[in-house]
């Protein structure tokens, strides 16, 4: 269970979340009174499939995965959210729930906002609505790119793309994940992920040990993706999202 942490108001200029940074001071002022700082632990569930979304989250550190599931239990990650984004895209688009699950895969921290407070602010400000819709569009572009890559790229290219995207949204170059978790993220079998990791390490692109991956050669990783990691993956909302 995620519990808000009491804190004094933080100036917008000191926030690390790109969506909050990109808001006008007036729009941020509409949200700030209802925002609470939260610690985001591994596997904390931020959205449950087909259940009412009660809060949206603006991460400042850590990574959240948006995961789709099929009958029979097969799962695959369709999107990731770090300090570049927010959860609750379904809410921004006027819905109460999502068919996907969203949970924390890399622990961090961020800001919690009740959905009702967000809706009230959107009703009051057209510019806030427009800003959040621009983020929703950027996130949907990420989802469509992931579908394209999953359908046409080799597993090592998909793995390299995914690691680069996580690296973009984290401090440092170490990523703490198990092979089993990576398999879920890529919608692949665990042995295939293990072989792909070994191939990246053999080429000198990463260093992998139990539960930890370090990116050694980022330019080489980008080259390996053969275009699967492009402008859409590199772009951060708020810096170049138009």
Question: Where does the pLDDT of residue 209 fall: very low under 50, low under 70, confident under 90, or very high at 90 and above?
Answer: confident
pLDDT, one tens digit per residue, over 176-198 is 776 677 777 676 777 777 888 88
Element (H, E) at 64: strand 55-69
pLDDT, one tens digit per residue, over 33-59 is 999 999 999 999 999 999 999 999 999
Q: What is the pLDDT of residue 154?
A: 86
Contacts of 98 (CB under 8 A, 6+ apart): 47, 49, 50, 53, 89, 90
Domains and their CATH numbers in the chain: 4-149 (2.60.120.10), 154-225 (1.10.10.10)
Average pLDDT over residues 81-90: 96
Kindly state the percentage of the chain with pLDDT values over 70: 90
Q: What is the pLDDT of residue 74?
A: 76
Instruction: Give the C-alpha separation, 152 to 43, whole Å.
Output: 29
């Amino acid at each position: 269970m995620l519990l808000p942490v009491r804190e004094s108001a933080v100036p917008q200029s000191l926030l690390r979340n790109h969506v909050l940074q990109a808001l006008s001071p007036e729009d941020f002022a509409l949200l700030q009174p209802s925002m609470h700082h939260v610690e985001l632990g591994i596997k904390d569930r931020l959205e449950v499939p087909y259940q009412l979304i009660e809060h949206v989250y603006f991460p400042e550190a850590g990574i959240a995965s948006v995961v789709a599931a099929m009958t029979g239990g097969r799962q695959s990650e369709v999107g990731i959210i770090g300090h570049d984004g927010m959860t609750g895209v379904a809410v921004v688009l006027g819905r109460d729930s999502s068919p996907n699950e969203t949970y924390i895969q890399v622990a961090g921290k961020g800001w919690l906002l009740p959905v009702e407070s967000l809706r009230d602010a959107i009703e009051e400000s057209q510019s806030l609505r427009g800003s959040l819709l621009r983020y929703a569009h950027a996130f949907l572009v990420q989802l469509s790119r992931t579908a394209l890559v999953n359908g046409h790229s080799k597993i090592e290219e998909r793995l390299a793309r995914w690691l680069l995207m996580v690296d973009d949204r984290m401090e440092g170059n170490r990523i703490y994940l198990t092979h089993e978790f990576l398999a879920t993220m890529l919608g692949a079998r665990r042995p295939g992920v293990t072989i792909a990791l070994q191939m990246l390490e053999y080429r000198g692109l990463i260093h992998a040990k139990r539960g930890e991956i370090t990116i050694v050669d980022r330019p080489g990783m980008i080259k390996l993706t053969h275009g699967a990691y492009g402008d859409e993956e590199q772009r951060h909302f708020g810096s170049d999202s138009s």
